[in-house]
Amino acid sequence: MKLIRFGAPGSERPGVLLPDGKKIDVSEAFADYNEQFFTEKGPEKLSDWLENNAGTAPRVPQDARIGSPVARPSKIICIGLNYSDHAREAGMAIPKEPILFFKATTSLCGPYDQVIIPKNSVKSDWEVELAIVIGKKASYVSEDEAWGHIAGYCLMNDVSEREFQLEREGQWVKGKSADTFSPLGPYLVTPDEIDDVHNLDMWLEINGERVQDGNTKTLIFNVPKVISYISQFMTLLPGDVISTGTPPGVGMGFKPPRYLKPGDIMELGIEGLGKSRQEAVAYKPGS
């Protein structure tokens, strides 16, 4: 199944992208794709509901904006330097255990929304990533158990301001959390549709030029490992998003470095998880 959310920012409704390409509105039966939905085995119930109702459910309007496929979660957790070749381009050591950092949940946005280059930004950058959505509360889970805690996977752009992230004091969170810095989607794909999550091609283009080209097979810490690892330090709640790291080709790694300018177009994709596209725009006061 491919879960989508549609409508204006902040008032999105749940929908499903059917295998024939139709998008249907499921809001008459499901309130939203949020913690409660995943806690109450929402994807299983949704699948059952679709068997009887997919044909008669209202269609999503053609011109509807597509939002993040999950409602604002309790946490967006990211893994840093999780591809060895990206660690190298960043001039950093390959980590011995996963590096964790947060993004503010207010950074979440839709897959085709504009990305706002923050006020005073000089080094805004891109990162195509595989994101995991948690389906079942996870605390101290083993790697074997971790698979049972996954609701699905999404395409994510971990947009990053490198000066805020690396040249100011303290944690990376400052460079990761601006509004619109987490375009997620176009959809959440349930695990049954993904043959091998550790062998998915991924890419990102800037103005049509391919800058990132990778595959999840070169993850240092894989999907069950990162879920199990994070759950040793905090409880993962249904609907939480984990972004698993980026392959090489970020702007910071170019010589000289390249950063986003207003008007730049980021297009990205992961095999089986769809494509997204964001235009970078300048911050405007009051926006």
Site residues for Zn ion per CB under 5 A: 127, 158, 246
In the bound state with Zn ion, the residue whose beta carbon lies nearer, of 127 and 240, is 127
The CB-of-203 to Zn ion minimum distance in angstroms stands at 15
Structure tokens at 213: 């080209």
Burial of 209: CB neighbours in 10 Å, binned 0-12, 13-18, 19+: exposed
- Minimum distance of Zn ion from residue 275's CB (angstroms): 18
SS3 state of residue 243: strand
Question: To the nearest whole angstrom, how small is the minimum distance from the Cβ of residue 212 to Zn ion?
Answer: 11
Pairing of strands 13-17, 2-6: antiparallel
62 torsion bin: left (phi>0), alpha (psi -120 to 50), beta (else): alpha
* Nearest residue to Zn ion on Cβ basis: 158
Pick between residue 25 and residue 158 the one whose CB is nearest to Zn ion: 158
Taking the complex as a whole, the smallest distance from the CB of residue 65 to Zn ion amounts, in Å, to 25
Distant-in-sequence, close-in-space partners of 14: CB < 8 Å, separation ≥ 6? 3, 4, 5, 25, 26, 27, 30, 31, 32, 33, 37
Q: Are 212 and 155 in contact (CB under 8 A)?
A: no
Of the candidates 272, 274, 70, 38, the one whose C-alpha atom is nearest the C-alpha of residue 150 is 38
Tracing tokens 């460079």 back to the chain, one arrives at: 175
Rounded Cα distance between 114 and 96, Å, is 36
CB of 19 to Zn ion, least distance (A): 31
The Cα–Cα gap between 55 and 201 comes to 33
Q: For Zn ion, give the closer residue by CB, 27 or 246.
A: 246
- Which residue number, 60 or 79, has a Cβ lying nearer to Zn ion? 79
Among candidate residues 12, 24, 83, the one with its CA nearest the CA of residue 50:
24
Kindly report the backbone phi and psi dihedral angles of residue 108, in degrees, each rounded to the nearest multiple of 5, phi listed first.
Answer: -65, 140
Closest distance between Zn ion and the C-beta of residue 31, in Å? 31
Nearest-approach distance from CB 156 to Zn ion, in angstroms: 8
Structure tokens belonging to residue 87? 């660690």
Closer to Zn ion at the Cβ: 113 or 127? 127
Work out how close the CB of 250 gets to Zn ion at its nearest, in angstroms, rounded to a whole number.
9
Matching residue, tokens 């999840």:
216
Cross-strand pairs, 66: 6
